[in-house]
Structure 1
Amino acid sequence: MNRHIDLQIDVDNSAALPQPEQFERWVQTALDGRIDRGEICIRIVTPEESQTLNREYRGKDRPTNVLSFPFEAPPGVPVDLIGDLAICADVVEQEAQEQNKTVTDHWAHMVIHGTLHLLGFDHIKDDEAEVMEALEIELLAQLGIADPYESA
């Protein structure tokens, strides 16, 4: 197994963020049994950067919690890059407070959610959402974290 997580932090309040080991554990939990090797870049962004990316790639002019950018190598180019996640620390913290969740539990959920997107899971259609949410609940339970959709 050869997996690598590149953590990039572009926010001022980095002391309030989870530890790199936590990010590693959350990504590994999502990848286990699904993919043996690859690299994921997690970039912790400001609301401004999140809004710019969300507007450019999704047509939504507001910051969001996590954006996923799966990587597809050109045919014949062997690259182990799975993709990139852009996670807005301010949005994650605000949502945790609004949803009465611990910030750490919500961070874990957002990292797992984004990683599953990189693996091709989606939640646009109801049946896809059911599959993805059930998997998120299962993976978070492995980490001792309650169902994030219970109070939603």
Structure 2
Amino acid sequence: MSAEPDSPGASRGRGPRLEIEINRQGGAWQPETEEAVLRAAQAAFEAALTFPETDWPAAAREAELSVLLADDSFVHSLNRKFRGKDKPTNVLSFPVPRMAAQPLISLGDIVLGFETVTREAVEQGKDLEAHVQHLVVHGLLHLLDYDHMNDEEAEVMEEYERRILETLGLADPYAGGQAPAAMREQGEEA
């Protein structure tokens, strides 16, 4: 699935534009998940361009993103191959090095693991689509060079996640007591 200019996943008018391609590689993902992914990715892209720490070329207001909705087996293989972690995880982010001369900048890829994402949503008492949106926002911020390797970075990234999710009408995903260190220990992205 790809977002067209008038679809929920692409911005209209003169604002930032994010082309989003969604593919599947296993998992029992539902069609509404794709709409949730499109909304979350566009909201994160538009908001992140306004954050002072975002290292983004001023003239570049168009980008593309690939999202893969996969099963845990596939995510496990990627996590093992690229991160040396022999287990599935919820989200992986694979940034593409930026080339200044590109008219349409590729941000990279976000991969979601169905079974892990579903299990986490149940364990945390969250709506699956809301959890997916949080993970897409989290993954996209990684593609824009945000990280949570220490508490200071984690606080900045989590604050931006909260702001973006609020624009989507979603609650603070960290309100349940998940500390910054807990997210870092999960090691969900590459």
Match for 1:3 among 8, 11, 18? 18
* Distance in 2, Cα, partners of 1:65 & 1:30: 18
Are 2:69 and 1:44 aligned? yes
Are 2:123 and 1:98 aligned? yes
> TM-score under structure 2 normalisation?
0.73
**Please, what is the CA RMSD of the aligned residues?**
1.8
Contact 1:43 1:86 (8 Å CA) reproduced: yes
Contact 1:73 1:79 (8 Å CA) reproduced: no
Q: What is the Cα deviation at residue 75 of structure 1?
A: 7.0
Distance 1:145 1:8, change over 3 A: same
> TM-score under structure 1 normalisation?
0.90
Distance 1:12 1:96, change over 3 A: closer
Match for 1:21 among 28, 35, 48? 35
* Distance in 2, Cα, partners of 1:79 & 1:5: 12
Match for 2:46 among 26, 32, 35? 32
Which amino acid in structure 1 is aligned with residue 18 of structure 2? Answer: R
* Counterpart for residue 114 of structure 1: 139
Match for 1:129 among 129, 154, 168? 154
Which amino acid in structure 1 is aligned with residue 46 of structure 2? Answer: D
The number of aligned residues is 151
SS of 2:32's equivalent in the other structure is coil
Contact 2:22 2:67 (8 Å CA) reproduced: yes
Q: What is the Cα deviation at residue 73 of structure 1?
A: 4.4
* Counterpart for residue 188 of structure 2: none
Deviations 1:8-42, CA, capped at 9 Å, x for gaps: 0112523x353433211110110104162111000
SS of 2:64's equivalent in the other structure is strand
Aligned-pair identity in percent equals 37
Runs of 4+ residues over 4 Å off in structure 1 = 73-79
SS of 1:3's equivalent in the other structure is strand
Which consecutive unaligned segments of at least 5 residues does structure 2 have?
Answer: 1-15, 50-55, 179-190
Distance 1:12 1:70, change over 3 A: closer
